[in-house]
A and B are shown apart, each in its own frame.
Chain A
Amino acid sequence: MPSVTIGPGDLNLQEDGPLVEVLFLISSELEERYRKEKKEIPEPVVVKALIDTGASMCLIQEDIPKKLGLEPVGTTKICTPSSKDHACYQYFMRMAIPSHNLTYHGVFIASPLQGQEIDCLIGRDLLKDGILIYLGNANQFTLSLL
């Protein structure tokens, strides 16, 4: 099972939360199609992601799909501490941590995110296919994906 462990160095788990740098790319299926059509493959977008068990689904900064030139595959309504039933687009994308052989294909909700330079919330839809081990006293966490 591929996994990534962050900490204890270069991390303040209590202050910042479980942050991990990830890449966003177009899906493997779309990439295959682009290669057949000899279209240019968009460059990956590197972002800081927060593993957020308070998020029912993964959510990304709304300009990330635009940078990858992606069109939506759905819409959904979200409820946040400051809003209710807010409609957002959904996009099918690939999220990867190549250094640890971690890849996840899934649907991501696009919404404005502001603060702490975090551009992605990793939610419980991704976590249902994985294991999160949070060792507070060791200032370390591990995310594994099936």
Chain B
Amino acid sequence: MKDNLLAEEIETYEKHKSELLKEHSGEYVLIRGNEVVNTFESQKDAIKIGIEKFGNTPFLVKKILEVDEKQNFTSNLIKISAPCLR
């Protein structure tokens, strides 16, 4: 079983969340490891900078919100029997 590839980045986000919410609520934050790289207006801009800086390695682009948005699906084609994050 692989470890959660973005565990460190998610931990970094949680650590900085309250200060990010004060100035950048609704924006997207780019995080690599324990570093908050920058914030962006658009998700795609954040990802493009992430690719530029870090190439094809795990990094986190996350929307800065008090409560994370969830994605909803009505399809029965999605078959979840085990965690996707390993």
Contact = CB atoms under 8 A, between A and B. Distances in A.
A71 B5 contact: yes
Contacts of A110: 84
A58 to B, nearest CB: 10
Contact of A78 (B43, B48, B71, B79): B71
B60 interface: yes
B6 A75 contact: yes
A111 B80 contact: yes
Interface stretch (A4-12, A95-103, A112-120, A130-138): A112-120
Given A33-B51, A62-B84, A56 B73 contact: yes
| Chain A interface size range | 35 or more
Given A73-B60, A76-B70, A113 B44 contact: no
Interface in B49-81: 50-52, 55-62, 68-81
24 contacts: A71-B5, A71-B57, A72-B5, A72-B58, A73-B47, A73-B60, A73-B61, A74-B60, A74-B61, A76-B69, A78-B70, A78-B73, A79-B73, A83-B80, A87-B84, A92-B51, A110-B84, A111-B78, A112-B80, A112-B81, A113-B78, A114-B79, A115-B77, A123-B73
Interface of B: 5-6, 10, 43-44, 47-48, 50-52, 55-62, 68-81, 83-85
Interface of A: 26-27, 29-30, 33, 50, 52, 54-57, 59, 62, 69-83, 85-89, 92, 105-107, 109-116, 118, 121, 123
